[in-house]
Amino acid sequence: MALGLETKKSELKPLSTNKAVAEAAKDSNVDVVAAYPITPQTTVVERLAELIGEGELDAEIIHVESEHSALSAVIGASAMGARTFTATSSQGLALMHEILHIASGLRLPIVMSVATRALSAPISIFNDHSDIMNQRDTGWIIIFTSSAQETYDTIIQAYKIAENSNVLLPVMVAYDGYVMSHTIEPVEVLGKKVAEEYIPKKVSWNRLDPDRPITIGTITSPDYYYEFKYAQAKALESSLQHILEADSEFKKKYGRGYGAVEGYMMEDAEIAVLGTSSYFSNLKYAVDELRKKGVKAGAIKLRVYRPFPREQLYELIKGLRALGVIDRSISYGMTPSGPIALDLMSTYRYKNIPPIQSFVAGIGQRRMLIEDFVRIYEILERRASSNSINEETLFYGVKGIDL
Amino acid sequence: MLLPLNNIFNGEEMVEITWLGRGGQGAVTAAELLATAAINEGKMAIAIPEFGAERRGAPVRAYNRIVTKWKELPKTPVLTPEILIIIDPGLATKAKSYVSTEKIRYLIANTTLSKSELLKSIGKDISEENVYVLDATKIAMEIFGRAIYNTVMLGALVGSVPLVSLSSVENAIKKSFSRKLVELNLKAINMGANKVKGGA
C-alpha cells in the first residue's frame, strides 16, 4: 500500500520563530519598532525592516545605538499612544534592565520578543534562560512559547493583554534562542485581519497629548511612591485572568489556545517533569518512550511565568508522587539553584505537594537529546523511590558529574 | 530509480535527515529549502541548523525531520540520521567522526569514490541500491564556476528520495534566492536530480 504524507489545506508559511515573530508584529499592525540592529539582535527586526521596506507594514522603524535606547524609544512612542514593538536577546536584554522597570512602572503596553540566550562571561552565543530569568522581577508579564506557531499567536495575544485597561503592563514573549529562533517550522499566519478583528487599536492608557498635558513618571515622595508600586504588583497578579481571557477569545476565533500551563499525559501520571519553551516538546517525546516501558510519566509546560499561574499548575502537580523541574539558569548561591524550582517550592509551601526535584540542564545549550530527558525521568523515579529527593539541585550534563 | 515512500519511512512516522558539510557550503540552506518545499506542500517538516562556531571551512551539520502525520516535532539535533547527505567531498570518508552511522538507511554523497569504496570508508554495510554518489563539485564548477554544491546535493536527494516534489523545491528556490542565482540554482537542482536517476 502506498504511503502518503498527511497534508494541511490552510495556508502555511515555513518560518523560523524569529520570522514568525516579525509576521506577528506586522499582523498586529504595530506603529513603531525600535531596535539596536547589531549583535545580539535577532533576525526579527531585520525581517520587520524588510516588511516595512516592502510596504507590507506601515510603521516607523527607529535604529538606535543600544538596547537601552531601543526600549527608551518604544517607551516614548508608547507614551504617545503608539502600538510598539521591540525585540532582543541575551546581553541586549541585560542592557535593557534599567529601562524594563521604567516600562512597567509607567504601565505602558509594550510588547517585546526575547530569543533566550546565555549571558557572558565567558562569551556564549547559545541558548539558555540566564537572560530572561534575570528579568523576572521587572514587573513585566513573561510568557514562554514552545513553537513558532505558538510564538506567532502569543505576540498577537500579548497586545490584547497589554492594552487591556485592567492590565496595562508590558509583555515579554520568550522563546529558545537558536533552538527555536533559527529552526524552520510550518506556521499558519492570520494576516492583517487579526488587527481589526481581535486587537482593534484603541489607546486605553494615559497618553501624552500636547492639547491635554499630563506628566508621567515624575519624581514621587515617600508619600506616594509605594502606592504606585502596590498598584503595579496587584495589576500583575490579577493579569492572569486577562491573559486567559485573551487566550480563550483567540481560541474561539482562530482555533488555537494554550492556557497558562499545559499537561501531557498527566491524567494518570505518577511522576512528571516541568519544562519551558522547546524543552516541553522534548519532554513529550521522552514521556512517549517511558510510557512504552510502562512508566506512568507526564510532562508539564509552564507557559505563563509572570504572573505565576499558581492554581492552574497546582491542579496538574497535586496528585503526583514526584515532580522534576528543569531550569536553564542558575540562581547563584541559592539552594535550590533553579529559579523555577525555587518558585514552586516557595509558592506551595503551605499546600500538600509532591517532593520536587530541581534540575539544572542545558546551560549554554549543553546538548540535551530525548534520551537525556528520559534519563532525567529515571533519576527522578530513582530518587522518589528511595525517598532521597531534597532541596539540592542536580546539575545534569556537567562533564565529570554522574547523577 | 525513485524510491517508494513506504521504504523511506519503513513503517515509522518520522524520517530524520542529517546534512554534513563545511561552514559556508550551504548545508543549512539546503535543509531549509527542503523543509520549505515540504511545508509549502502542506506537510509537517522542520529544518534545524547546527549551532557551531560559524567559521568558514569548519564541519557543519543541519537537520530535517519529516513526518507522515501532523504533530509537534522535537528540535533536538539529529545525531543518528536515517538519511545522510554528505555535501563536502572531503568529509565523505570522515563522516563517522561527525555523525552516528548506526541508523543510516540512505546515503547520498558528493564524492568521486565508488559506492563500495564509500561504504567501506564509512564502515557501514547497507545495500548499494540505497547509496547515491555523484561528483557534485564538478557539476557545481560547471554551473557556478565555484564549488557551491549544496543545491546540487539537494537535487540529488529529491531525485532519489521523493519526500517532496522537484517542482516544490524549485518554488522554494525561486523564493529564497535573488533572480540571478535562481536560474543557476534551478539548474543545479535538476542536474543533481538527473545525476542520481542515472541521467546526464
Examine the domain organization and report whether A273 and A212 are in the same domain. no
CA distance A145 to A275: 11
Q: What angle do CA A104, A110, A115 make, to 5 degrees?
A: 100
State the cell numbers at A6: 498527511
Distance from CA of A328 to the nearest CA of B (A): 16
Q: Is B71 on the interface with A (CB under 8 A)?
A: no
In a domain, A358, yes or no: yes
Query: Residue A176 in contact with residue A281, Cβ under 8 Å?
Result: no
Domain boundary among the residues A233, A254, A275 is at A254
Examine the domain organization and report whether A232 and A84 are in the same domain. yes
Q: What pLDDT is stored for residue B51 in this prediction?
A: 65
pLDDT band at B4 (very low <50, low <70, confident <90, very high): confident
- Alpha helices, DSSP H only, in A80-183? 90-105, 130-133, 148-162
CA distance B143 to A392: 60
Examine the domain organization and report whether A249 and A219 are in the same domain. yes
Distance linking the first and last C-alpha atoms of chain A: 47
Measured between CB atoms, which of A3, A185, A186 is closest to B9?
A3
- A34 CB-near residues (< 8 Å, 6+ apart): A61, A62, A63, A64, A69, A70, A71, A73, A74, A77, A84, A86
Query: Residue A380 in contact with residue A269, Cβ under 8 Å?
Result: no
Regions of chain A short of the pLDDT cut 70: 1-3
Q: What pLDDT is stored for residue A1 in this prediction?
A: 40
Report residue A256 CA to chain centroid gap: 17
pLDDT band at B24 (very low <50, low <70, confident <90, very high): confident
Examine the domain organization and report whether A222 and A359 are in the same domain. no
At B14, which helix (H) or strand (E)? strand B14-22
Asked if the Cβ–Cβ distance from A186 to B39 is below 8 Å, we say yes
Q: What is the pLDDT of residues B49-99, one digit of tens each?
A: 986 656 678 889 999 999 988 889 999 999 999 999 999 999 998 999 999
CA distance B2 to A397: 42
Q: What is the pLDDT of residues B118-140, one digit of tens each?
A: 999 998 899 999 999 999 999 99
Report residue B21 CA to chain centroid gap: 10
CA distance B118 to B100: 15
Q: What pLDDT is stored for residue B54 in this prediction?
A: 60
Q: What is the pLDDT of residues A238-254, one digit of tens each?
A: 999 999 999 999 999 99
Distance from CA of B112 to the nearest CA of A (A): 32
Q: What pLDDT is stored for residue A2 in this prediction?
A: 47
pTM of this structure = 0.96
Q: What pLDDT is stored for residue B145 in this prediction?
A: 94
Examine the domain organization and report whether A80 and A212 are in the same domain. yes
Name every chain B residue with its beta carbon within 8 A of the beta carbon of A7. Answer: 41-43
Examine the domain organization and report whether A276 and A312 are in the same domain. yes
Query: Residue A75 in contact with residue A85, Cβ under 8 Å?
Result: no
Asked if the Cβ–Cβ distance from A367 to B77 is below 8 Å, we say yes
Name every chain B residue with its beta carbon within 8 A of the beta carbon of A5. Answer: 5, 38, 41, 43-44, 66-68, 163
Examine the domain organization and report whether A265 and A249 are in the same domain. no
Please count the structural domains in chain A: 2
Architecture per CATH, domain B5-196, reads as: 3-Layer(aba) Sandwich (3.40)
In a domain, A5, yes or no: no
Measured between CB atoms, which of B36, B43, B51 is closest to A7?
B43
Query: Residue A162 in contact with residue A169, Cβ under 8 Å?
Result: yes
Burial label for B172, CB within 10 Å (0-12, 13-18, 19+), is buried
Closest CA in chain A for residue B45: A185
Phi and psi for A86 in degrees, rounded to 5?
-145, 165
Q: What pLDDT is stored for residue A3 in this prediction?
A: 58
Examine the domain organization and report whether A391 and A375 are in the same domain. yes
Encoded amino acid at A378, one letter: E
Examine the domain organization and report whether A231 and A275 are in the same domain. no
Q: 3-state DSSP call for residue A84?
A: strand
Q: 3-state DSSP call for residue A101?
A: helix
Query: Residue B31 in contact with residue B47, Cβ under 8 Å?
Result: yes
Distance from CA of A187 to the nearest CA of B (A): 9
pLDDT band at B1 (very low <50, low <70, confident <90, very high): low
**What average pLDDT does this structure show over B93-109?**
93
